[in-house]
Amino acid sequence: MKQFYLNTMGCQMNDHDSEVIRGLLLSLGYGETDRVGQADLILYNTCCVRANPERKVYGHITSYRRLKEKNPQLIIGICGCMPQQKQELAKILEQLPHVDLIFGTHNIHRLPELLERAQNGERAVEIWDEAQYDEGQDFRDSLPIARGHGLKAFVNVIYGCTNFCTYCIVPYVRGREHSRLPEKIKEDVQNLIQDGYKEITLLGQNVNAYGKDLSNKMSFAALLKELDRLEGLERIRFMTSHPRDMGQDLIEALSTLDTVCEHLHLPVQSGSSRILRRMNRGYSREYYQDLVRRIRGMTPEISLTTDIIVGFPGETEEDFAATLSLVEETQFDSAFTFIYSPREGTPATRLPEQIPEEIKKKRIYKLIELQNSISAKKMQKLLGTQQEILIEGRSREGLVGRTRTNRLVHLDGPLDLVGSLLKVEITEASTWSLRGRIC
Ligand code: 5AD
Ligand code: SF4
């Protein structure tokens, strides 16, 4: 049997696309291997949001030249967001001549044919500039999905992004927003429930924009309400939410719908209104803080996570201090922190006041230190509390599960508890995980 090695970088959209790729390859008779040296097909599903992961792809793929020399039948492929950018595609074609197979984010379903062409000795390269779809549909609808987990699953609700934050490449590589039909989403979820899934994460670059592009308009909150009614579903999560589009109806849905978990990922990006304006985020520091107050007012136990960029062009010490004070005041449960990375083709790259690398680094260390101390404090507060845990599997340390607020919990217990919802008392807390005892 031929073997494939699939490496996935970036966000959950890519994780889910890789489940589709895996489904396709398994249906073609391939088996999966995690040993790159044994693969007949090496495929990298890439991310282009920042420069670092891109550099890694060049490093890895360059080193695979050796494998190709040993085994000329080996196919090496790159797909996803990187080749979706014209200049990056040209660079791949030139600098990585041993890559045989390239496709993008809009034509994953073309993989079987492209792979066959690569196997016949052709350099199979195909990128579509835009997704081709009928209203409410997507090519992924009719493809097999090999899911990575038996209890929790991703379901796409909206593809693409049309926000054009000035630093972000996503709108250029994932296309404009298009929502899936609610019937399709419900059907997916119902099938997953039947297959024993307990938790669904609804995916979109901006789930709050869900339904605006459908001729039968529907809000994301209304979609949540319909899914909440489905018999047998325990937990619904969703990401990502854009603060600007977070309406009162969604704030209420978070607090009132039983299956919707008390966790919200709400990227703030900066604590300075001046920088937020330059980022084209469409809200101010004060708006964000008021939004958080309203969300916590209705759902006090909610876990709030965020994304923050430091070193955006023109960010002064004062702007950065505003980010630190926002983090201090908001008390996020955790934050993904990023050094601004100029992306070719985005407006922010052309701004004159780019920040030197040393300053960016200094700032991110300071920010991480502050957030870590807040995260640790928040975890400590859970000591002695009782939490509902979905037991998801096991690790070296026994069973592992998650709270409704998405915190990782280790506990002891028999393996047949996997898949059950249990009340657990929290007995230990560290910055990143908890330990508990079944009540
Ligand atoms: N540089 C640094 N971070 C970025 N992000 C998006 N684009 C960039 C960039 N050019 C971050 C944002 C976003 C997360 C997914 O990645 O914080 O929310
Ligand atoms: Fe990028 Fe902004 Fe869209 Fe998020 S909302 S994917 S940061 S353009």
149 CA distance to ligand 1 middle (Å):
27
The predicted pLDDT at position 133 comes to 83
Mean pLDDT score, 411-434:
94
308 CA distance to ligand 1 middle (Å):
8
The CATH code of the domain that includes 247 is 3.30.750.210
Asked if residue 419 and residue 405 are part of one domain, the reply reads yes
Domain contains 235 = yes
pTM assigned to the model? 0.94
Instruction: Determine the structural domain holding residue 23 and report its residue range.
Output: 3-126
Q: Is 205 in the pocket of ligand 2 (CB under 6 A)?
A: yes
Last-in-domain residue among 219, 234, 261: 261
The predicted pLDDT at position 138 comes to 86
Task: Indicate the number of domains in the chain.
Answer: 4
Domain contains 131 = no
Asked if residue 294 and residue 249 are part of one domain, the reply reads no
Asked if residue 120 and residue 45 are part of one domain, the reply reads yes
Per-residue pLDDT tens for 239-257?
A: 999 999 999 999 999 999 9
Domain contains 140 = no
Q: Which atom of ligand 2 is nearest to the CA of 307?
A: 7
Quick one: pLDDT band at residue 148, thresholds 50, 70, 90?
A: confident
Instruction: Indicate left, alpha or beta for 357 from its phi (over 0: left) and psi (-120 to 50: alpha).
Output: alpha
The CATH code of the domain that includes 285 is 3.30.750.200
The 3-state DSSP composition of the chain as helix, strand, coil percent (nearest 5) reads 40, 25, 40
Q: Is 165 in the pocket of ligand 2 (CB under 6 A)?
A: yes
Scored b (16 or more CB within 10 A) or e, 29-50 reads: ebeebeeeeebbbbbbbbbbbb
Q: What percent of the chain lies above the pLDDT cut of 70?
A: 100
Domain contains 201 = yes
Per-residue pLDDT tens for 347-386?
A: 999 999 999 999 999 999 999 999 999 999 999 999 999 9
Asked if residue 110 and residue 19 are part of one domain, the reply reads yes
Last-in-domain residue among 261, 282, 305: 261
Verify cis geometry, omega within 30 degrees of 0, for the bond prior to 240. yes
Domain contains 144 = no
Asked if residue 228 and residue 185 are part of one domain, the reply reads yes
Domain contains 401 = yes
Closest-approaching ligand to the CA atom of 244: 2
Asked if residue 391 and residue 375 are part of one domain, the reply reads no
165 CA distance to ligand 2 middle (Å):
6
Q: Is 103 in the pocket of ligand 1 (CB under 6 A)?
A: no
Last-in-domain residue among 81, 111, 126: 126
Asked if residue 185 and residue 83 are part of one domain, the reply reads no
Mean pLDDT score, 408-437:
95
Asked if residue 76 and residue 161 are part of one domain, the reply reads no
Residue type for 43, please? Answer: L
Residues 104, 106, 110, 111, CA torsion sign: positive
Asked if residue 155 and residue 109 are part of one domain, the reply reads no
Asked if residue 114 and residue 7 are part of one domain, the reply reads yes
